[in-house]
Chains A and B, each alone.
Chain A
Amino acid sequence: MNLTLKVWRQQNAQAQGGFETYQVKDISSEMSFLEMFDVLNEQLINEGKEPITFDHDCREGICGACSMHINGQPHGPWQQTTTCQLHMRAYKDGDTIVVEPWRAKAFPVIKDLMVDRRAFDRIIQSGGYISVDTGNAQDANNLPIDKHKADESFAAAACIGCGACVAACKNSSAMLFLSAKVAHLALLPQGEVERKTRVVNMVDQMDKEGFGSCTNTQACEAECPKGISVQNIRRLNAEYIRSVFSGD
């Protein structure tokens, strides 16, 4: 199929960016979206132009690097799919596709479609861990964990930190990401020790990074490639209130 692509190009964080229009030909429906970009980049290199910078790593939907806002949706039109797992059979011959970087004050553009998501790393550093002595791994069955809680925690742990929730949110809020990280640990006995301080510190860090505040539009859940539920945000709110009112 032949396609028209309108892609955001921006030299660096300070530069004024803009859209460039490109034509790609003979794209196979079995290609992934990123492979289609590889074809486009080869074409650009052959024409002596600068290839488009975009983030990618695993190309199997588990690392969360491939941040592209495609025709108004993070990671494109398919539900629970990353850009690398979006295949060109989602499109038909003659389509025009607009590709933009994540847009948020807390995710500044580094170049073209690549944004700086280190704000997420700093949120994790502020509390998204448990402090335990290292040593031999315990036998898993030594710690009794409620099946329901284990399932909920496991579902929350599926978050790959891709930032689609921030990109999709009209407030650029990182609540779905944060709530997944908080819920994941708060539900397990290993997370109990730092439970109260963790939630407050991580929320503080999120605010400091310049993310917006959640107004429960639920766009994040609809766009999350890992199906993280807003139920985690409910849990985060409850954890936060619990921590503040029982604070010491």
Chain B
Amino acid sequence: MGFTGLFLISFLVVHCYVNALIFFNDGGVKFTEAAHFMGTNPVIRIMEIGLTVGIFAHIIQGLLLTFENRAKRPVGYAKTPGNKSSKWYSRSMGLLGTLILLFFVLHWYHFWIPNRASQFMGNGEIDAYAKMKLVFSQAWVVIVYILGCVSLSFHLMHGFWSAFQTVGLSTRKYKSIINGMGMAFAIIVPLIFILMPLSFYLGWLA
């Protein structure tokens, strides 16, 4: 979980950077340039296979872990400590991950699948910027994207530090620094993502 989680975090950084280029508000020129590089560069193409494997490995591992762990307490407690001893989002990683997955399905349907399908048919890449404009003109889509990013935010509030703990790097000295960085990452990155559909919907981007 730790290794795949860290891998997905590194992907998020790149994904967030490329997409944030839309905020130049240049009608998507810089963004399309970068997206074209990402969509056609052979190294990136190979890395995308790794990413796909990584995502599915993380999801399968995560769901197995959740269900296996649940089976380790066949008779439950009448009274549980609730939030006295741990954070709700730390205990809800399986649920938050599933919400992210549901959001991913919609997200792939919007961008990744049409793009690869179009390339496969020999029609080249789609105009992702125009597609964003179109997709993000629908209020319900914007709401689902925001909810997906909020789930991601809570997933990372626990996941970022947790991954360092799992791979044995969260030493006494660095624990609070890693946790602080994790909190900042978990708030800033999803917030930037949320601003994308929101900006299109509110007409801030031409």
Task: Check A216–B165 contact: CB distance below 8 A.
Answer: yes
Please, which residue of chain A has its CB at the minimum distance from the CB of B89? A217
With contact pairs A215-B69, A233-B165 given, residues A98 and B79 touching in the complex (Cβ less than 8 Å)? yes
Decide if A105 is an interface residue (CB 8 Å cutoff): yes
Residues on the A chain within 8 Å of B68, using CB: 212-213
Count the A-B residue pairs with Cβ separation under 8 angstroms: how many?
Answer: 104
Of all chain B residues, which has the CB nearest A77?
A: B84
Query: With an 8 A cutoff between CB atoms, is A168 at the interface?
Result: yes
Encoded as 1 (CB less than 8 Å from any B CB) or 0, chain A from 217 to 232 comes to 1110011000001110
A197 to B17, CA, bound (A): 44
Q: Is the CB of B171 within 8 A of A231?
A: yes
Interface residues of B in 155-201 (CB under 8 A from A): 158, 161-162, 165-172, 175
Contact check, B79 vs A72: say whether CB atoms are below 8 A apart.
yes
Within 8 Å of chain A (Cβ to Cβ): is B74?
A: yes
Q: Which of chain B's residues have a CB closer than 8 A to the CB of A59?
A: none
Q: Which chain A positions have C-beta within 8 A of B93?
A: 215
Beta-carbon contact of B73 and A105 below 8 Å: yes
A217-B168 in contact (CB<8A): no
Known: A215-B93, A216-B162. Contact between A241 and B168, CB under 8 A?
yes
Q: Is B77 an interface residue (CB 8 A)?
A: yes
Please tell me if B85 contacts chain A, counting CB pairs below 8 Å: yes
CB atoms of A105 and B79 under 8 A apart: no
Residue total for B at the interface (Cβ-Cβ under 8 A): 35
Of the candidates A218, A238, A239, which one forms a contact with B86 in the assembled complex, judged by CB atoms under 8 Å apart? A218
How distant is A62 from chain B, measured CB to nearest CB, in Å? Answer: 23
Instruction: Verify A71–B165 contact, CB threshold 8 A.
Output: no
Q: How many chain A residues touch B (Cβ–Cβ < 8 Å)? A: 39
0 or 1 for each of A183-223: is its CB under 8 Å from B? (1 = yes) = 00000000000000000000000000011110111110011
Return the contact of B170 from the options A213, A217, A234, A241 (Cβ within 8 A).
A234
Q: Is A34 an interface residue (CB 8 A)?
A: no
* CB nearest to A241 among chain B residues: B168
Contact A172 B81 (CB under 8 A): no
Cβ-defined contact, A217 with B90, below 8 A = yes
Bound Cα distance A224, B206 (Å): 57
In chain B, what residue has the closest Cβ to A222? Answer: B85
Docked pose: A6 CA to B84 CA in angstroms: 21
With both chains docked as a complex, state the minimum distance between the C-beta of A95 and any C-beta of chain B, in angstroms: 13
Q: Is A235 an interface residue (CB 8 A)?
A: yes
Q: A219 touching B165 by the CB < 8 A rule?
A: no
A216/B84 in contact, CB under 8 A: no
Instruction: Determine whether A112 belongs to the interface, using a CB cutoff of 8 Å to chain B.
Output: no
Instruction: Give A172 Cβ to nearest chain B Cβ, in Å.
Output: 4
- B49 interfacial contact with A, CB 8 Å: no
- Inter-subunit contact A103/B165 (CB<8 Å): no
Closest to B170 in A: A234
* Docked CA distance A11–B163 (Å): 43
Minimum CB–CB distance from B21 to chain A (whole Å) comes to 35
Q: With contacts A19-B78, A234-B168, A237-B166 known, what are 11 further pairs, Cβ within 8 A?
A: A6-B78, A72-B82, A103-B73, A171-B72, A172-B73, A173-B72, A216-B162, A216-B165, A217-B158, A238-B168, A240-B168
A-binding residues in B (CB < 8 A)? 1, 65, 68-69, 71-82, 84-87, 90-91, 93, 158, 161-162, 165-172, 175
Residue pairs across A and B with Cβ atoms less than 8 A apart, 6 shown, are A72-B81, A100-B77, A170-B73, A212-B69, A212-B73, A215-B162
